[in-house]
Copies of this chain bind each other. A is one copy, B any other.
Amino acid sequence: MKKGRVTIIDIARELSIAPSTVSRALKDHPALKKETKDAVRALAKKLDYQPNLLALNLLQKKSNTIGVIVPEITSHFFSAIITGIQDVIGDSEYNIMICLSNESYEEEAVIIKKLLKIQVDGVLVSPTSETKNFDHFRTLQKNDIPVVVFDRDCPGLEADKVLVDDYAGAFQAVEYLIKSGCTKIAHLGGPLNLSTTKHRLQGYLDALENADIPIRKEYIEHVPGFSHDDGLKPAERLLKLEDLPDAIFAMNDNIAISAMHIARKMALKIPDDISIVGFDDEPHSSYFRPSLSTVWQPVYSLGMLSARIILHRLNDKGPQKNFRQEVFKPELVLRASSRECASRKNDKVKL
């Protein structure tokens, strides 16, 4: 006969006790007779009682939801991070709400407002490539909503951060190219505003400088976005230079693949004429021909750690301080798109 779902009031009425007693029984309150507890629990199970989270949310002024803001999910990179986040938060009391900013600062700002509106308890965010101002994240913090930044840094923002040592990854990659005999190494960088772009560029520059190789401006191009298509024109510019590069270190695998595509079109042999190294180690990268050398990032772990950190913040209340900054080490994965290096011939080569 009852229309809606059963409530503690229904149970109370049935048992001729007070709703508060039912509430206490369900929460295993110490000062309760075993009998009543058992009776309540039995009936609750029988009636398939489900606590109304909506009521709890209002009472506790929290939504039990964690917002996750990412620029996109169609790349393996972010979708793997999200999978890591899910796997950690799925076991907790929290729900996660994934929001796509589409690499647009404006959309990101709108999302923040929405998350504020629904009273999220915490936010995990990887900012867009347009984001230079972080005040919208600070707004969250002022509302006592902890923020964890992952992968893409927000310089100057005080928050927990889970990053990747892009500098080291780039340095390692370029250093390897140099050791393998390349001297004219070009770089296909990402959108300039991004911390990852900057750090990878710096790693590239320092590796060259470290080997006393002069830096040539015309060997550095920046792509407008992260898809294959975004890489075509910049790659073409590099490969149309009079003094052809003998190696390209690309911002990510997609761009590296674009470069490979252009190189092949121009009948260049990879890696004999030109070595190509990417970044990200997307699952299909090892299936290209030649298989793509790249820099692997611990994406899944990155997602999991970010999630754990925010859960921790949410559990131990109090003022937000002592922010953590965790930095994962990426790993160079050598495959067939880069020349072999005499001094490292004995290294294991992942295939």
Chain A residues engaging chain B, CB cutoff 8 angstroms: 4, 50, 52-55, 57-58, 61-63, 72-74, 76, 79-80, 82-83, 86, 95-100, 114, 116-119, 227-228, 254, 257-258, 260-261, 264, 282-284, 287-289
Contacts and interface: CB of A to CB of B under 8 A. Distances in A.
A54 B50 contact: no
Copies of this chain, complex-wide, total 2
Nearest to A284: B284
Contact of A73 (B82, B116, B117, B288): B82
Contact of A119 (B53, B63, B98): B53
A271 to B, nearest CB: 15
A82, A114, A116 — most chain B CB neighbours (10 Å) = A82
Contact of A288 (B63, B99, B116, B288): B288
Contact of A50 (B50, B52, B57, B117): B117
A119 B53 CA distance: 8
B100 A86 contact: yes
Contact of A228 (B57, B80, B119, B283): B283
Contact of A117 (B53, B98, B228, B289): B53
Contacts of A261: 287
Nearest to A282: B284
B284 A50 contact: no
Contacts of A116: 50
Contacts of A114: 95
Closest 7 interchain pairs by CB?
A73-B79, A74-B79, A54-B57, A54-B58, A58-B58, A98-B98, A257-B287
Contact of A254 (B74, B117, B284): B284
18 contacts: A4-B61, A52-B119, A54-B58, A57-B57, A58-B58, A73-B79, A73-B82, A74-B76, A74-B79, A74-B83, A74-B283, A83-B100, A86-B100, A97-B97, A257-B284, A264-B289, A288-B288, A288-B289
Contacts of A52: 58, 119
A308 B51 CA distance: 31
A86 B71 CA distance: 13
Contact of A97 (B95, B254, B282, B283): B95
A58 B55 contact: yes
Nearest to A116: B50
Nearest to A115: B95
Nearest to A73: B79
A73 B53 CA distance: 28
Nearest to A119: B54
A80, A86, A260 — most chain B CB neighbours (10 Å) = A86
A50, A58, A97, A116 — most chain B CB neighbours (10 Å) = A58
A284 B258 CA distance: 10
Nearest to A285: B284
A272 to B, nearest CB: 16
